Amino acid sequence: MDFSIKAFDTKNTLGAAKSGCIAVAVFENKKLSEAAKALDLNGAISAAVKSGDISGKPGSTLLLRGVAGMTASRVLLVGVGADEAISEKSFGSAVTAMLKAFTLLGAQDAIIAFPFENVKGRDLHWAVRSIVVAANDAEFRSDAQKSKKDPAMTGVRKLTLALPANMAATPQLKAVLAQSIAIANGMNLTRELGNLSPNVCTPTYLANTARKLAEDHGFDVEVLDRKQLEALKMGSFLSVTRGSDEPPKFIVLKHMGGKPKDAPTVLVGKGITFDTGGISLKPGPGMDEMKYDMCGAGSVLGTFRAIGEMNIKLNVIGIVAACENMPSGRATKPGDIVTAMNGTTIEILNTDAEGRLVLADALTYAERFKPAAVVDIATLTGACIVALGHHNSGLFTRHDDIHNALADELMDAGAQTGDTAWRLPIGENYNEQLKSNFADLANIGSPGGASCTAAAFLENFTRNYTWAHLDIAGTAWKSGAAKGATGRPVPLLTTFLLNRV
C-alpha cells in the first residue's frame, strides 16, 4: 500500500480532486462532516443520510457513484458514531469498514477525508499511525508457503490522507507518516517470521534474517555458534538446546545511530523456534502454535527493520537467543542443575520453563554493553494470558514504585500506538518462591503468580543495569480462525526507541 498526505481546502478543492474514491465521515445524528458537506453540492449525500440508507453508526458504509459536482468517480460514506468528538473505538471501526469497502472497488486509489483531529484524547499523529497500521493489517498475506496462493488483493492500492493546509505541511506529520510506514514494515517481518513453519524458521533462518537486515540497513551483526557459547559458559542457554539437532544461534545486531559514547538501549528477544516442552512434554492439542515461541526474537528483528528504515539517531543493540526445545536422549531432564553465564546455579524442575533459561544468559551477556536500559521480550508464560487476556502485554520492572521511569516510557509508548502493556509486580516475595534446596535458583516457582515468578527469575540476571521485561504470550499471536502472528509489540518498541532519540 502506498501512502501520502496532501493539503486540501475542503470547501473548494476536495471536489476537484482526481481520485477513484473519496471517503468522508457521517454521524448518527444525520450530520455530515466538513468534508462531506464540501462534496454535497447537489444534496445527494445529505439525501442519502436523511433517507436512512446509512445509519452513521461506527463501521456503517454507503457507496455513491457519479455524484454531481465532483471529479472523483465515487464517494464512500463511513459512519463514525453519534458524537462529533469521535471515540477511539468508533474511529477504529470506521477505518476497518472503510478499508474493507476499498478492497471491493474497481478503483486503484482513494482519498481519506476524515475529521482526523476529532478523535477524543488523541492527536492527528495517532490517527495517521492508526490508518497506516490498519491498512497494513488489511493487506497482509499469510500464504507464503501455499502452493496455490490466495486470490490477489484487489481494489485500492494508493491512499492519500486529505488534511487542511496548516496541518498537512508540517515536517512532524511527514515524519510520522514515514515512521508509521516503517513500523508497519517491521510488523510485517515479525508476522512473516512467526507464521513460517518451524521446519523453515529455525535458529539458522533467524540468523540469516539478521544478516540480511544488516546488509540492507548497515547494521553490525555477529552470530555466535555452540562452541562460542560454550566458551562463554552459557550453560543455562545451552541446556535448552541439548535435545535438538538444530544448532543454536546467538545473534547480536548493532544500530549505532547515536553519539559514539552514548550508552545503547538493548532489546533481548526469546527465540525458541519450536517448543515441545522438552522432557516435560506439552499436550498435543495446539502444540503447532509453539512455532510462535520465537515471537520475542521476531519482534526484535521487526523493530530493527523499522529503525533501520528510519535510521534513528540512537544506539540500539538487539540480542536474539535462538534454539529449539526438543526431547531426546540428550535432552535436559527435570532435576538437572546447570550453571548460567554469571555463575548462578539453576535447578531445572520443569524443562517447559525454558524461555527464562535462554534469557538468563542473554541478559547477562547484555551487561557487557554498559546499557542505558535493557528490555527483554518473550512469550514467557501462559499465566500472563490468564491475568491479562489478549489485550495487554505484561510489563515488569525491578522497582514497583508507581513512577518507575523505564516502565513509564514503555507504558507511554504503548498508549501512543494502541500496542498496550499493563504493569504486574515482582519483588522478594516472588523470589522466595524460587528457592531450591540444591541450587541457587529453581527455574519454576511454587504455585501462584507464575508470570511474576518468571519475571522475578529473570531479574536475578539484570541487577547491574536498568531493566524491564515484556511478557507477550497473550499478544504475539492469535488462535482460531484468525490464527497468525500479530506483529506486536513492534509498535510499542519502535515508539519507545523514537521517544528516546
- Catalytic center residues: 282, 356
For residue 274, list its beta bridge partners.
Answer: 324
What 3-state DSSP class applies to 131? Answer: helix
Question: Of 386, 430, 426, nearest to 407 (Cα)?
Answer: 426
* Buried-state track 436-453, b at ≥16 Cβ within 10 A, e below 16: eeebbbbbbbeeebbbbb
Could you identify the residue written with the cell 540497513? Answer: 217
Which helix (H) or strand (E) segment holds residue 193: the answer is helix 171-195
Separation CA 369–CA 11 (nearest Å): 56
Determine how β-strand 345-347 pairs with β-strand 337-339: antiparallel
**Is 211 exposed, middle or buried, given 0-12, 13-18 or 19+ CB atoms closer than 10 A?**
middle
Q: How far apart are CA 73 and CA 17, in angstroms?
A: 10
Cell, residue 257? 545511530
Cis bond before residue 489 (omega within 30° of 0): yes
**8 A C-beta contact, residue 15 and residue 40:** no
Residue keyed to cell 528477544: 269
Closest of 72, 379, 323 to residue 203, by C-alpha: 323
- Distance from the Cα of residue 436 to its chain's centroid: 36
- CA distance linking residue 446 with residue 430, whole number of Å: 9
CA–CA dist 133, 182 (Å, integer):
10
203 and 246 in contact (C-beta within 8 Å)?
Answer: yes
